[in-house]
Structure 1
């Protein structure tokens, strides 16, 4: 029988070890769902970053992402000066030493964020305006957009560039969320969505890979948001 518990890291460890724990002592495996929550009290510390740097995309996911980058975005690790080792805990990269691919990457949440965080999430028209501005500022003519926006008729995002290629499962055999991450982290400039866990993970991966923080910690602002505070820069603790 599967049972759940909700607690901090130290409390969870005690519960698992205890004879009276809701987790049977005969269990051979324990799954920690959303383990980042267990490390909340240690966020930004060495223990957190040691754990975070131990997480690397599986080889078959990286292969899909690398093929997509090369085919559609003119991007490779070598050309983009992106360091890579199978074990990220062995990497210590100087910030700003990595260049990033010649494209803008966007993570734009919609759906529940439209009503749950409506003040700091832009309209699609507002997002398009910001994307165009960033492409012009950074002299980029390609943009990769990861979004859960529902498509009904012509989408405003289609107007970002004169010629846009809509990537479907036929192109990549399913470039879904996990695989999108492997595309969205080595770009020249990244902009995400406020308080989005997925955007946070991209921040961390770009930090580990040594990309310039000024090109990493950015988010969209709401159309009427006056004080648009940008994400906090969390440095890797080695």
Structure 2
């Protein structure tokens, strides 16, 4: 403890610049459900009305329980979460300029409110490009540039029924949008290995990393076909967004495999992937009181 009788908790171990100070630290061990943590926090805040901030470390490890992806409540909350408009505008501009993609052609025009379902042009088609999320930088195990590139080429070949309208052996190279935390050297290797297909990335040094990440998610969510990384919450959020927009599951729940020599894991074209973890599909569950069905609107009109 410091001389001011406050416990110093370091967020960044390289320096104390981002250190947090707190009057009290509670260590909770074991498998903890969010529904169990909430009453504890409520009681503590009631007993300590001066509390203004509660910091929860490793909150991503909480078990959602009844509020998991399989519940109506989860999907109500998830549907209500929309990206910042100034970032989606940047993403839309990039799609239009580089990927020949727009909401009308892609059948991804958004409804007037998140409460409306399904989306007006559902099922979504997506832009004429392949979206890839290649989680690389901080994963203990991840596909090498060679493996990621080979599995990307496999995905193109094996998903031709979804891509055939704009890619075949005699057509121009396919556009690939790559969202990744790989370093420049790995990205260069990947691009060289998938040539002549063209790889696009959104790079804007004036934006914060989190802002670029949102734009990456937005562009991947609008792709005709998407392949992600497992396990990765970044990929999960893209899959959820595509589920909300009305994309077919076969174009969404696909994943790279970190095992050298393995095939890409495609939902609609399963092969020998015993060594690879698939991206688990889940179906959006609507909560009636927070959903305006399109047919209801038409009947009222």
TM-score where L is the length of structure 2: 0.66
Aligned residues: 231
Q: Pick the structure with greater CA Rg.
A: 2
Q: Is the 8 A contact 2:134 2:179 kept in 1?
A: yes
Question: Can you give the 5+ residue segments of structure 2 that lack an aligned partner in the other structure?
Answer: 1-20, 168-173, 263-272, 287-301
Q: Which of 195, 220, 245 in structure 2 is aligned with 1:209?
A: 245
1:161–1:11 CA distance, 2 compared to 1 (3 A): same
Structure 1 window deviating more from structure 2 (8-17 vs 93-102): it is 93-102
Matches within 5 A, 1:1-238: 7-18=32-43, 20-21=44-45, 24-27=48-51, 38=62, 40-42=64-66, 43=68, 44-85=70-111, 87-93=113-119, 97-113=123-139, 116=140, 118=141, 121-136=142-157, 137=160, 138-139=163-164, 140=167, 141-152=174-185, 155-159=188-192, 160-162=194-196, 163-164=198-199, 167-169=202-204, 176-221=212-257, 222-225=259-262, 226-227=273-274, 228-238=276-286
1:147–1:165 CA distance, 2 compared to 1 (3 A): closer
- Give the Cα–Cα distance (whole angstroms) in 1 for the partners of residues 187 and 77 of structure 2: 43
Q: Is the 8 A contact 1:101 1:187 kept in 2?
A: yes
- Give the Cα–Cα distance (whole angstroms) in 1 for the partners of residues 247 and 100 of structure 2: 18
TM-score where L is the length of structure 1: 0.82
Question: Can you give the 5+ residue segments of structure 1 that lack an aligned partner in the other structure?
Answer: none
- Give the Cα–Cα distance (whole angstroms) in 1 for the partners of residues 47 and 88 of structure 2: 35
- Give the Cα–Cα distance (whole angstroms) in 1 for the partners of residues 145 and 218 of structure 2: 24
Q: Is the 8 A contact 1:111 1:149 kept in 2?
A: yes
1:8–1:154 CA distance, 2 compared to 1 (3 A): closer
